[in-house]
Structure 1
């Protein structure tokens, strides 16, 4: 797992995006990484305002918006320096929000993108429906989605695993972002096609036997996986649960009071829907804590 040397945090100056900036500063301080706080002035917003203004005043309006954003960013950066001792750079751009975030991450060599879970403008829109898919597809960098005001370093991270290489990458990334945290490696198992078997009239005694068999096999695989992950210095706790992936992730994160969930974009079997599918959406929408989405290519 490559080290995180540069972090890009997006902000629309809402409370949740301020939380994201604070979390970016904490991670930056922990990892001694460069931190940049960026605001994007939506091209759609500019176009709408231009339609209301005289043609000769439209460029002036854009300059006013950029200057206002820069003033707010410098104030935010000053607060981060005062509270966390982190010197954050600032950046303002105008255009397509998705394209600007991807381009800034690329130009700055950002190893991690940090965003608020909800916002008053573009950050909110980025996490609704297919727009999430587009953001995650536009960059091969990991994304940290911040839901709560940070209270310090992450203490406990839930990492759903399906024993694939992608699960290993998510574990490695979680350990980089949260080096002091306990990593709870959770595998959710189910009897394949249990609902169909019940509808077909399979006896309950046979269902009990199938559940025990599935549990035993999952426990064996989890034990082997944990023994072979090779994350040096990490505090590891294996966890086996029965149930559907997304709901089990959300429930266990709340039950164990985890402050971060780390998931991979791709995997096998249980987690293959994490390729920007319904599991990712469900976790992002319902998670009681921050969510770290591992990248696809950079491990």
Structure 2
């Protein structure tokens, strides 16, 4: 397994490096620490920042308790943050990117450009672990929102293969009883409405079980939960109740103005929850990883 941990030397990035180190040690993975230097700066300043960044990365590899036992490489690359991270990940054949949470207050700008982590997710083919909290050796309470799509199935498979998702995780599905409003407006009794909603919930539960069987994901290994409501409402409620260590989600990868205007559940989660989130993008068979020349590389 090859893990890329991107850092801008902030506190949030430090937490992400520690988590990446624990993951790498547990899985005997190869770990690449990547820092991106802004190439729009004057040339002398770029070279100075490259040297300093390389020094700091090597220093962190030697001093961070989670890193010495891992196979670590330090890489400094020029470019814009999200593009540099993607190029560095492509060059090493990354299986997972680990990044610290980043919530900019430039709301209107973010609507159209997104934060670095969102652009890495949208622009690449790599699962991305966004680290919000202190590093932990094992994620014990994992919540997996699913919409019964192939993307959701891929997210579960990647979570299992990366060792981030174990038996006993809770799979969560949001359902909307489409006729409930009509029953309410027609004056139907609360018993009739409750019976209808329960029937819809049972149907959604059966659909989730069938989805797991069809994808050979073993329905007996999970805790299944089906809640009424819009997806983000259901996720927020489940997070508040279960207090998970991590969410595992697939993203459908919408792009362009449509995505910018209507957003996505995944991006709402990234911007609002305070737990670690593993985001798995849709499979893209046509993606060809570009070549990259790193500014410097060192192994500890």
TM-score bracket for this pair, using the shorter chain length = 0.7 to 0.9
The 1:113–1:193 alpha-carbon spacing in structure 2 relative to 1, beyond 3 Å, is farther
Which residue does 1:258 correspond to in 2? 244
Provide the secondary structure at the position in 2 that maps to 1:182.
coil
Which residue does 2:26 correspond to in 1? 30
Which of the numbers 222, 225, 228 marks the counterpart of 2:208? 222
Residues 81 and 88 of structure 1 are in contact (CA less than 8 Å); yes or no, is this contact kept in structure 2?
Answer: no
The 1:140–1:99 alpha-carbon spacing in structure 2 relative to 1, beyond 3 Å, is same
TM-superposition CA deviations, 1:32-59 (whole Å, max 9, x none): 2211111111234x2xxxxxxxxxxx43
The 1:79–1:181 alpha-carbon spacing in structure 2 relative to 1, beyond 3 Å, is farther
1:119 deviates by 7.4
Which of the numbers 62, 72, 75 marks the counterpart of 1:88? 72
Instruction: Please provide the CA RMSD for this pair.
Output: 3.1
1:9 deviates by 0.9
Aligned residues between the structures: 272
1:81 deviates by 5.6
Which of the numbers 101, 104, 109 marks the counterpart of 1:117? 101
1:287 deviates by 1.6
Which residue does 1:168 correspond to in 2? 153
Residues 144 and 247 of structure 2 are in contact (CA less than 8 Å); yes or no, is this contact kept in structure 1?
Answer: yes
Normalised by the length of structure 1, the TM-score is: 0.79
Which residue does 1:77 correspond to in 2? 61
Provide the secondary structure at the position in 2 that maps to 1:208.
helix
Alignment of 1:63-212 (within 5 A): 63-80=47-64, 85-118=69-102, 128-129=110-111, 130-132=113-115, 133-177=118-162, 178-180=164-166, 182-192=168-178, 194=180, 197=182, 201=186, 203-205=188-190, 206-212=192-198
1:168 deviates by 1.3
Residues 183 and 234 of structure 1 are in contact (CA less than 8 Å); yes or no, is this contact kept in structure 2?
Answer: no
Higher-helix-fraction structure: 1
The 1:207–1:77 alpha-carbon spacing in structure 2 relative to 1, beyond 3 Å, is same
Structure 2: unaligned runs, 5 residues or longer: 254-258, 286-300
The 1:181–1:81 alpha-carbon spacing in structure 2 relative to 1, beyond 3 Å, is farther
TM-superposition CA deviations, 1:131-172 (whole Å, max 9, x none): 245322211111111101112221121111222222111111
CA distance in 1 between counterparts of 2:184 and 2:219 reads 48
TM-superposition CA deviations, 1:56-87 (whole Å, max 9, x none): xx433222211111111112212346666213
Structure number with the bigger relative contact order (C-alpha 8 A, sep ≥ 6) is 2
